[in-house]
Structure 1
Amino acid sequence: MNQWYYVDTAQQRQGPIDAPGLAALHRSGQIADDTLVWRDGMDQWQPLAGRATELGLAAVAAPAAAAPAAPLATAGTEAAGDNAAEERPLTGRAVFTAQEPRQGQYVPPQLEPALAAGTAYGGGSAGDAPYAPPQAPVNTGTRVVTGGEVVYAGFWKRVAASIIDGVVVGIGGSILSFMVMALLGLGLSVSFADIAMGTAPIVLQLANYAVSMAVAVAYFAGFHASRMQATPGKMAVGIKVVRSNGEPISLARGVGRYFGYLLSYLLLLIGYLMAAFTERKQALHDFICDTLVVDKWAYTDHPEWQRRELGVVTIVVLVLGGLLLLGLIVMMIAVFGILFASFR
């Protein structure tokens, strides 16, 4: 038996539910004729009235002829006409037009199938997957919207982002450093074994540190000052870096923030731990550079899309990081135990 999904009045996707259950909801008045429904095999969401026969519903009004769909409205009304001179109340559903640009457009999870099909009411390609992944960038515009609620990034989200970024920078920096040291080593007649064993001349060691530092600075400063306002680690957990007034940071401020970040670590991580206790979740480097780490939808037109919970990505990264740390601790204890036994 086919399993159905429907969009409730709060625009939340509900289901799965079988056909008799969906019909019962309609008879009880919990869903209406124009409620959007979908099941496997349908290439787009459709009003319930369009599936009345299949669901065994009687006396359901046929859906009105589809008019050109209007863009998604967010201010409580949806515009009608080319000049939006006429407005009418929203009917509890969002409408996407097939002509509306999709690049960089946020798609609420409950409406992913509708947009994947082209429109909530009609149109679109039959080959589109009903559960295509949503396009959810951080904030691809430069417009700063103030006055709304701001959800600050919690300590554990920042830890998860740091773990991801540390892995990316560590791997990328190591590869690039080895390449540079190898080229310098060939020019200085230093063998690869000397480089691998750490016995290379001081110039190679300095080159290694310089390359690693350059990669880290370019990574953090570049991504934080980009339109995304976040490193890949921060993007993964849904947070970004802004000025204290919500504006994007400059590249120069991003560079300064990285060196402030190093200072936070040099102070026995105390500077970083400050993010767990300060009012706006600021670490030492945030205070130094006048920055905030906030939810990716803060200071945008949709502050209601901000999330306070950790999220699946954050939890998974924290668990894996904890297991890795535990493994390192066990290994160190074992090594020290062997060394201690050998000196007895």
Structure 2
Amino acid sequence: MEVWIGRQGERHGPYQEKQVREWLRSGQLGRDDLGWYDGLADWQPLSVLFPQETPAAAPTPSMYAPPPPLQQPASATRIDYAGFWQRFGAWIIDLIILTIPSMIVMYLLGGMEAYKHLLEQMQGNGDMSAALREYAAATESSSVASVVIGFVYYALCESSKWQATPGKLALRLRVTDMNGQRITLGRSAVRNAVRLTTLVIALIPFVCYIAVAWTQRKQGLHDLMASTLVLNGSAQEQPPQRPQSSSDHGSFNA
């Protein structure tokens, strides 16, 4: 297993697990230094990753070699879950964006004519119950088309390399699996199928998003059902998913 080391806002490595354990035992690495390897959602203290390794004695100056080549800077922070209002704001932005294709579809499928007819019925003091039923029947196809457009929009965007819809990108949010990795199209489809169900019963965003306010990982109903997270930070700010190998096998000092 290859391990990346985070110290003072910089990322070093990757190094073999055996090396990291030796450096912990020799004291060249501190137990408060941070580590990350493929599969972790975020950086963790080395004391958490390798709790059994303790320094045998304080290191002497001769134990230190020149520092290994440094990689690009990386933030060693805890998992930063997106909050309720951030996610609600992203939903509003996406809703505004989706209004455009929805209005086009409504116009093409006769929804505007049905709306005008409904207004005429209301102004003429006609039977409102009958008028509403006629309107619902006339706009059924455009409503279904709008739902399908929204489903495809969310499913494709959140499983893309950006891991976010335009609304989430605007607020620097991303959708991940429970390990902080990009989700598949299938998982994204499941996640948004739950959103679609609540849309049908006219409860979105309340059912999906209200759970964000009180769940430990700020997950909505659709996150819980699909085992996903919404995190702060763009996809490009994540730790590397597949770190490149390093030829450095010397001592660690940074």
TM-score interval, normalised by the smaller of the two chains: 0.5 to 0.7
Amino acid at match of 1:197: H
**Whole-angstrom distance in 2 between the partners of 1:202 and 1:153:** 37
| Residue equivalent to 1:295 | 232
- 1:284 shift after superposition: 0.8
Q: Is the 8 A contact 2:175 2:183 kept in 1?
A: yes
Of 222, 229, 238 in structure 2, the residue corresponding to residue 285 of structure 1 is 222
Determine whether 1:161 maps to 2:81. Answer: no
**Whole-angstrom distance in 1 between the partners of 2:218 and 2:234:** 17
The one-character-per-residue Cα deviations of 1:87-119 (angstroms, maximum 9, x if unpaired) are xxxxxxxxxxxxxxxxxxxxxxxxxxxxxxxxx
- 1:256 shift after superposition: 2.0
Determine whether 1:233 maps to 2:167. Answer: yes
**Whole-angstrom distance in 1 between the partners of 2:170 and 2:96:** 13
Amino acid at match of 1:152: Y
**Whole-angstrom distance in 1 between the partners of 2:234 and 2:158:** 15
- 1:236 shift after superposition: 0.4
Compared with structure 1, are the counterparts of its residues 270 and 203 closer, same or farther at alpha carbon in structure 2 (3 Å cutoff)? closer
Q: Is the 8 A contact 1:263 1:285 kept in 2?
A: no
| Residue equivalent to 2:210 | 273
| Residue equivalent to 1:75 | 11
SS in 1 for 2:11: coil
Q: Please provide the CA RMSD for this pair.
A: 3.1
Amino acid at match of 1:289: A
Compared with structure 1, are the counterparts of its residues 270 and 213 closer, same or farther at alpha carbon in structure 2 (3 Å cutoff)? closer
Of 219, 224, 231 in structure 1, the residue corresponding to residue 158 of structure 2 is 224
The one-character-per-residue Cα deviations of 1:112-165 (angstroms, maximum 9, x if unpaired) are xxxxxxxxxxxxxxxxxxxxxxxxxxxxxxx87644221010111001101101
| TM-score, structure 2 normalization | 0.53
**Whole-angstrom distance in 1 between the partners of 2:181 and 2:221:** 19
- 1:247 shift after superposition: 2.1
Amino acid at match of 2:221: L
Which consecutive residues of structure 1, in runs of 5 or more, have no partner in the other structure? 1-72, 78-142, 183-191, 303-344
**% identity of equivalent residues:** 29
Of 75, 79, 101 in structure 2, the residue corresponding to residue 172 of structure 1 is 101
Q: Is the 8 A contact 1:144 1:300 kept in 2?
A: no
Q: Is the 8 A contact 2:114 2:138 kept in 1?
A: no
Larger RCO (CA within 8 A; separation ≥ 6)? 2
Which consecutive residues of structure 2, in runs of 5 or more, have no partner in the other structure? 1-8, 14-37, 44-77, 119-130, 241-254
**Whole-angstrom distance in 2 between the partners of 1:264 and 1:209:** 15
Q: Is the 8 A contact 2:156 2:185 kept in 1?
A: yes
